């Protein structure tokens, strides 16, 4: 697969081992795992962080194999709603951080281009989420609005 903002190709990072069923050494029942996910999501922990905590502290390698549901499906079934999708929030956090860097380092042209590329990804993602009805049609991206929403 090729890169989004260049003509090069590259291999992505590490691959998850192929597992067809939940390992036998997982001690928690699916209901206990769902309760753990719901508890952490209510505390404001992101889905990626929940996955890391379950993997490292509770020895649950794959939530989908253990429960038969994805983390988003578990949160939806428990009635937990997030304001914005996690990928959009992470991109906005990166854009805010990079704009802060560019305020102090005005001649950093490489990162100025990086900010443009991040913002183009955000706009593309916002267009998709508006089309799917995940975020309201009246919402628009601006750096100042993103700074308020991320913090």
Per residue of the chain (151 residues), what is the pLDDT tens digit? Answer: 467 777 777 776 777 778 888 888 989 999 999 999 999 999 989 899 999 999 999 999 999 999 999 999 999 999 988 888 999 999 999 999 999 999 999 999 999 999 999 999 999 999 999 999 999 999 999 999 889 888 7
Residues in contact with 137: Cβ distance below 8 Å, sequence separation at least 6, in sequence order:
130
Residues ≥6 apart with Cβ < 8 Å to 53: 40, 45
Q: Which residues contact 15 (CB under 8 A, 6 or more apart)?
A: none
Which residue shows structure tokens 């443009």?
116
| Domain residue limits, the chain | 30-77, 86-150
Q: Which CATH architecture has domain 86-150?
A: Orthogonal Bundle (1.10)
Rg of the chain, C-alpha, whole Å = 19
Question: pTM of the entire structure?
Answer: 0.78
Treating both helix axes as pointing N-terminal to C-terminal, what angle do 86-104 and 143-150 enclose, rounded to 10 degrees? 110
- For tokens 């983390």, name the residue: 71
pLDDT computed for residue 74 by the predictor: 93
């Amino acid at each position: 697969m090729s890169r989004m903002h260049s003509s090069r190709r590259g291999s992505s990072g590490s691959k998850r081992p192929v597992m067809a069923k939940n390992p036998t050494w997982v001690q928690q029942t699916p209901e206990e795992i769902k309760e753990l996910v719901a508890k952490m999501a209510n505390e404001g922990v992101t889905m990626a962080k929940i996955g890391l905590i379950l993997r490292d502290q509770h020895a649950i390698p794959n939530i989908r194999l253990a429960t038969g549901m994805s983390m988003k499906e578990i949160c939806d079934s428990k009635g937990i709603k997030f304001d914005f999708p996690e990928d959009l929030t992470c991109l906005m956090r990166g854009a805010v951080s990079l704009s802060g860097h560019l305020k102090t380092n005005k001649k950093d042209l490489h990162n100025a281009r990086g900010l443009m590329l991040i913002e183009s990804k955000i706009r593309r993602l916002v267009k998709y989420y508006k089309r799917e009805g995940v975020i309201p049609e009246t919402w628009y991206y601006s750096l100042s609005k993103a700074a308020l929403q991320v913090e």
